[in-house]
Structure 1
Amino acid sequence: MQSIQSSQEAIALENKYGAHNYHPLPVVLSKGEGVYLWDVEGKKYYDFLSAYSAVNQGHCHPRIKDALIDQAGTLTLTSRAFYNDVLGPFEKYLTEYFGFDKVLPMNTGAEGVETAIKIARKWGYEKKGIPENEAKIIVAENNFHGRTTTIISFSNDENARKNFGPYTGGFVKVPYDDVDALEEALKDPAVVAFLVEPIQGEAGVYVPSEDFIVKSKAACENANVLFIADEIQTGIARTGSLLAVCGNCSCEGHCERGSTYTKPDMLILGKAISGGFYPVSAVLADDHIMEVIKPGQHGSTFGGNPLGTKVAMAALEVVRDEKLAQNARRLGEIFRERMEKLVEKYPIVKLVRGKGLLNAVVINDSEDSSTAWDICVALKENGLLAKPTHGNIIRFAPPLVMTEDQLHECCDIIEKTIKNF
Structure 2
Amino acid sequence: MTSQNTGGAGRLPQQRRLLTEIPGPRSRTLQERRAAAVPPGVGSVLPVYVTDADGGVVVDVDGNSLIDFGSGIAVTNVGNANARVAERVKEQVDRFTHTCFMVAPYESYVQVCEALNRITPGDHEKRTFLVNSGAEAVENAVKVARYATGRQAVVAFDHGYHGRTLLTMTLTAKNLPYKQGFGPFAPEVYRMPLAYPYRWPTGPENCGPEAAALAVDQITKQIGAANVAAVIIEPIAGEGGFIEPAPGFLPAIAGFCKANGILLIADEVQTGFARTGDLFACEHEGVVPDLITTAKGIAGGLPLAAVTGRADVLDKVHGGGLGGTYGGNPLACQAALAVLEEIERLDLTARARRIGEIMLPRLRKLAGEHNAIGDVRGRGAMIAIELVRPGTTEPNPELTAEIARRCHAAGLLVLTAGTYGNVLRFLPPLVISEELLNEGLDVLAAAFAA
Instruction: Tell me the TM-score normalised to structure 2 length.
Output: 0.85
Residues 83-111 of structure 1, C-alpha deviations (whole Å, 9 max, x = no match): 22322223222212325521011010100
Q: CA deviation at 1:397?
A: 1.0
Matched, 1:84 2:112: no
Matched, 1:417 2:447: yes
In structure 2, what is the equivalent of residue 336 of structure 1?
360
Matched, 1:24 2:45: yes
The Cα RMSD (Å) is 1.7
In structure 2, what is the equivalent of residue 103 of structure 1?
128
In structure 1, what is the equivalent of residue 157 of structure 2?
140
- The count of aligned residue pairs is 396
Contact 1:108 1:280 in 2 (8 A): yes
Q: Give distance in 1, aligned partners of 2:32 and 2:380.
A: 37
Residues 189-236 of structure 1, C-alpha deviations (whole Å, 9 max, x = no match): 111111000000101110111222222111111111111100000011
Q: Give distance in 1, aligned partners of 2:307 and 2:25.
A: 42
Q: Give distance in 1, aligned partners of 2:265 and 2:397.
A: 35
Contact 2:387 2:396 in 1 (8 A): no
Contact 1:64 1:315 in 2 (8 A): yes
Change (3 A) 1:334 1:40: same
In structure 2, what is the equivalent of residue 253 of structure 1?
none
In structure 2, what is the equivalent of residue 181 of structure 1?
214
Runs of 4 or more, structure 1, over 6 Å off, are none
Q: Give distance in 1, aligned partners of 2:51 and 2:328.
A: 29
Of 374, 397, 402 in structure 2, the residue corresponding to residue 350 of structure 1 is 374
Matched, 1:34 2:55: yes
**Identity, % of aligned positions:** 29
Q: CA deviation at 1:384?
A: 0.8
Matched, 1:246 2:278: no
Q: For 1:337, what is the secondary structure of its paired residue?
A: helix
Of 167, 176, 181 in structure 2, the residue corresponding to residue 150 of structure 1 is 167
User: Structure 1 stretch 39-48 or stretch 382-391: which is displaced more?
Assistant: 382-391
In structure 2, what is the equivalent of residue 215 of structure 1?
252
Instruction: Tell me the TM-score normalised to structure 1 length.
Output: 0.90
Q: Give distance in 1, aligned partners of 2:244 and 2:114.
A: 32
Matched, 1:10 2:35: no
Of 313, 326, 330 in structure 1, the residue corresponding to residue 350 of structure 2 is 326
Change (3 A) 1:158 1:93: closer
Change (3 A) 1:75 1:237: same
Of 256, 275, 290 in structure 1, the residue corresponding to residue 300 of structure 2 is 275
Contact 2:382 2:427 in 1 (8 A): yes
Q: CA deviation at 1:417?
A: 1.7
In structure 2, what is the equivalent of residue 364 of structure 1?
388
Unmatched 5+ stretches in structure 2: 1-23, 196-210
User: Structure 1 stretch 4-13 or stretch 41-50: which is displaced more?
Assistant: 4-13
Q: For 2:226, what is the secondary structure of its paired residue?
A: coil
Q: For 1:37, what is the secondary structure of its paired residue?
A: strand
Contact 1:236 1:273 in 2 (8 A): yes
